[in-house]
Amino acid sequence: MKKTSTRLADGRELIYYDLRDDGVRDAVDRRPLERTVTTSEVRRDPLLGDAVAIASHRQGRTYHPPADECPLCPSQGERLSEIPDSSYDVVVFENRFPSLAGDSGRCEVVCFTSDHNASFADLGEEQARLVLDAWTDRTSELSHLPSVEQVFCFENRGAEIGVTLGHPHGQIYAYPLTTPRTALMLRQLAQHKEATGGQNLFDAVLERELADERVVLASEHWVAFVPYAAHWPYEVHLYPRRRVPDLLGLDEDARSEFPQVYLELLKRFDRIFGEAESPTPYIAAWHQAPFGALEEFDGVVRDDFALHLELFTIRRTSGKLKFLAGSESGMSVFINDVPPERAAERLREVASS
């Protein structure tokens, strides 16, 4: 992998990740952009103890542009985009309309391929590995920023999810805090560790799932399963068999095997509801240990956390979406219409031939 860092016309950082070492990335951003002005701030909710990012400048962000005006495609002639070069393998750049900025963190866009009409599932294994390497590199770099406590790599796919740019891409949020969802995991981890005399909750969960009927696929270094208490109709958790706290901890064997396993999972997701309703909208989210202090979680250290990816769709059956209505949105109690065992069975049925 070759990494080349440059700057866009308004000062934002852009990084090319290339498969070949002989690529030259010296294209200049010719757009007459002014410096981006953001008003992002993070506010704490005194009743719930969680956080809300206030980012009013995002009201003006790009919204469903036609394909020939996509800002994530390479620049061609006088058609200028966020990527100055006329081609790329994988590229990462600071979001022009970030939810988090300055002392409130940082937001980046990850373009998985220059092919506007592709999806992550269409990538070859070499390209998917390059994306994994880019995620890992950005996790490392962002973790050293003084305002950053946790790094979150994720992909939103599909208009039903709320995606406003059709080009295959994901995002990275570098939070100035430990996110509420991670804090819940850490509290459960601490309670389990105390109650069992030091046993690890993630290890116990993985052992339980391997012994049950919800495993979707298992390889030498990875395990994918529908969790016992899945929140979403079709939800898969992907764990490395060797517990590590973040992407940086993966060894070469796990990295090499990841593209094959993950691409197979994505292809199965696209087959759940049949050809007529493919591709399937989904969210894919990497959960990594915070880089900040963990004193509030008694007895927990960073290495207790288990890196894992959570992949789920909001589609519950053909032509119907799962909406977060009263119980989910009002009280955070999910109601799942699809038994996790049936979801796992369906995801095994649609395996690639």
- Give the catalytic positions in this structure: 169
Tokens of 187: 């509290």
- CA distance linking residue 96 with residue 82, whole number of Å: 9
Pull the structure tokens for residue 123: 């990538």
Give the Cα separation of 326 and 273 in Å (integer): 26
Closest by CA position to 262, among listed 254, 252, 274:
254
Q: What CA–CA distance (Å, rounded) separates 291 from 301?
A: 11
Cα R_g (the chain), whole angstroms: 20
Strands 106-111 and 90-94: antiparallel
Q: CB-based contacts of 318: which residues, under 8 Å, 6+ apart? A: 273, 274, 276, 277
φ, ψ (nearest 5 deg) of residue 347: -70, -25
Where would I find the H helices in the chain?
Answer: 125-143, 180-195, 201-210, 252-271, 331, 340-349
- Of 258, 270, 285, 233, nearest to 351 by C-alpha is 270
The Cα 179–Cα 190 span in angstroms is: 16
